[in-house]
Amino acid sequence: MKLKTKIHLFSTLLMLVILTLTNTGIYFVYEKLAYDTEYHQLKMQSEDLVASLSKVTGQNPALVLLAYLPPIGAVRVLDSTGKEIVESTTVEGMRNYQPKVEPSEKYSIDEFNKTPAMVINMPIIWTDGKVVELQMIQLLTDVKHNLRLLMLILLGVTLVAMIPITASSIGLGRIVIQPIENLIQTMSRSRQTGNYEKIDVAVEGKDEMAQMGHEFNDMMGQLECNFKKQEQFVSNASHELKTPLTVIESYARLLSRRGFDDRAVAEEAVGAILGESVRMKDMIAQMLQLARGQEHATFNFEKTNIHALVEKTLQPMRQAYTRDFILEGNEQSVAVTDPDKLRQLLFILLDNARKYSEREIKTTISETETNVSIAVTDYGNGIPKEAIPQLFDRFYRVHEDRNRKTGGTGLGLAIAKELADGLVAELKIESVVGMGTTFRIIIPKEQILTDF
């Protein structure tokens, strides 16, 4: 069953049940009130009758009964065995009518010729001094008529009320279902065409349906953006891997053609193959790291002495490269960070500084009230202003460095940016072409997040 039909059926049925229950209640309350009114009148009449009977002396009591006869009904006097002593009636055929009496109730409602009949019994002293029972019967013709009229009115009201209720439930179903149907159609169109289709949502819409539409469109936008990024990454990666593979292939061919006879050619070929293989291995390792970085890397934050951590990072750099790695600044600076990830980030910046400069590399630690910053400065060629916005893009390399054999992959700074984001740190660049470059990591001293 469709959701629209379910909403429609449920709300209509619910309203029908509520209306029926209310109207049934109204009907029975009215019936009870009408019976009670009739009872009071009949009782007063019977009390008057009893009073008159007590005054009767020598007169025929049947005549008194006649005077107090209900307009449509009967009056009877029954002896202790239930046998009729005297009776007066205005209704034909009532003479033999024996009503069913509820002894515990103040009045009984029975039926005579399909008309409700009210019966009350009361003990009285008869003219001969014996205790007898006075029975008054009244046919409730007016009440029956009024009740039938009431029932028709209530039925009519129920039916008339059901028209707007049904219409509103259909309207409600439409309001709720229309956006869902739009969503389903858009999703199936997206699946068929492979496009990231969006739905039309009123910009100023504030209700949940509009919210759902906006969320869906945002999600589609994000999926499209991620897909494009992924596509770009794959095409960049395959393009970047093609170059070293082509170099390896051509040197291998050269080696197989002439290398075994010419030692110089063989050495050049093996050197080139080795160099390109190492570059490919590095690139693959970095690509893997980037891919893994996307799957929620775990950061373990702890209170860290930044000076000690930078010194520990510089040590192996000094060992590996014959270059001056200078460390300056506050030795006591402490921040809450992930030391391993921060070292990894520093290695990338220090390695770049080394690759793209010839002179010493200076690392400076400074702090403010809220942050500790580490600046890695080199005195190399610097980075042109226009290249800075793309610097953190995967595979991006400044044009001259692409042509120069610095052994880079263009992935280092993309990884550095992801690490900095994970560390909730800021990564800033200051560079002057021909003078040098400073990469600055700004780490907040305190972290609210400890693991994400």
Closest CB to ligand ADP among residues 7, 348: 348
Closest approach, Cβ 288 to ligand ADP, in A, equals 15
The Cα 176–Cα 172 span in angstroms is 6
Region binding ligand ADP by CB under 6 A among candidate stretches 145-153, 170-178, 321-329, 377-385: 377-385
Of the candidates 378, 417, 418, 422, which one interacts with ligand ADP according to CB under 6 A? 378
Closest CB to ligand ADP among residues 189, 318: 318
Region binding ligand ADP by CB under 6 A among candidate stretches 85-93, 293-301, 303-311, 405-413: 405-413
Closest CB to ligand ADP among residues 106, 281: 281
* 408 binding ligand ADP? (CB under 6 A): yes
The Cα 192–Cα 170 span in angstroms is 31
Closest approach, Cβ 323 to ligand ADP, in A, equals 13
Element (H, E) at 414: helix 412-422
* 99 binding ligand ADP? (CB under 6 A): no
Per rule CB under 6 A, count of chain residues that contact ligand ADP: 20
Q: What is the token pair recorded at 338?
A: 């992930």
The Cα 48–Cα 63 span in angstroms is 14
10 Å CB burial of residue 70 (0-12, 13-18, 19+) is buried
Closest CB to ligand ADP among residues 218, 400: 400
The strand pairing partners of 77, in sequence order, are 86, 134
* 380 binding ligand ADP? (CB under 6 A): yes
Q: What does the angle CA 158 – CA 162 – CA 163 come to, to the nearest 5 degrees?
A: 130
Q: Does residue 334 contact residue 372 with C-beta atoms inside 8 Å?
A: yes
* 356 binding ligand ADP? (CB under 6 A): yes
Closest approach, Cβ 259 to ligand ADP, in A, equals 30
* 397 binding ligand ADP? (CB under 6 A): yes
Region binding ligand ADP by CB under 6 A among candidate stretches 53-61, 222-230, 261-269, 397-405: 397-405
How far, CA to CA in Å, does 88 sit from each of 50, 114, 120? 15, 21, 15
In DSSP notation, 350-366 reads: HHHHHHT-SS-EEEEEE
Neighbours of 266 (CB within 10 A): 16
Handedness of CA 61, 63, 67, 69 (dihedral sign): positive
DSSP 298: -
Region binding ligand ADP by CB under 6 A among candidate stretches 65-73, 87-95, 127-135, 390-398: 390-398
* 438 binding ligand ADP? (CB under 6 A): no
Closest approach, Cβ 286 to ligand ADP, in A, equals 8
Q: Does residue 146 contact residue 154 with C-beta atoms inside 8 Å?
A: no
* 244 binding ligand ADP? (CB under 6 A): no
Of the candidates 138, 363, 373, 409, which one interacts with ligand ADP according to CB under 6 A? 409
The Cα 227–Cα 235 span in angstroms is 12
DSSP 386: G
The Cα 18–Cα 34 span in angstroms is 24
Closest approach, Cβ 308 to ligand ADP, in A, equals 24
Q: What is the token pair recorded at 326?
A: 């200078």
Region binding ligand ADP by CB under 6 A among candidate stretches 51-59, 65-73, 190-198, 389-397: 389-397
Closest CB to ligand ADP among residues 143, 391: 391
Closest approach, Cβ 395 to ligand ADP, in A, equals 8
Among 179, 247, 269, 272, smallest CA distance to 217 is for: 179
Q: What is the token pair recorded at 129?
A: 């001094």
Of the candidates 127, 186, 373, 437, which one interacts with ligand ADP according to CB under 6 A? 437
Backbone angles phi, psi at 336, to 5 degrees: -90, 110
Closest approach, Cβ 416 to ligand ADP, in A, equals 7
* 365 binding ligand ADP? (CB under 6 A): no
Closest CB to ligand ADP among residues 38, 240: 240
Closest CB to ligand ADP among residues 186, 352: 352
* 112 binding ligand ADP? (CB under 6 A): no
Q: Tokens 């009071």 appear where?
A: 40
Closest approach, Cβ 203 to ligand ADP, in A, equals 40
Neighbours of 159 (CB within 10 A): 10
* Region class of 129: left (phi > 0), else alpha (psi between -120 and 50), else beta: left
* 440 binding ligand ADP? (CB under 6 A): no
Of the candidates 91, 143, 365, 383, which one interacts with ligand ADP according to CB under 6 A? 383
Q: Which residues bind to ligand ADP, rule: CB under 6 A?
A: 352-353, 356, 378, 380-381, 383, 391, 396-398, 401, 408-414, 437
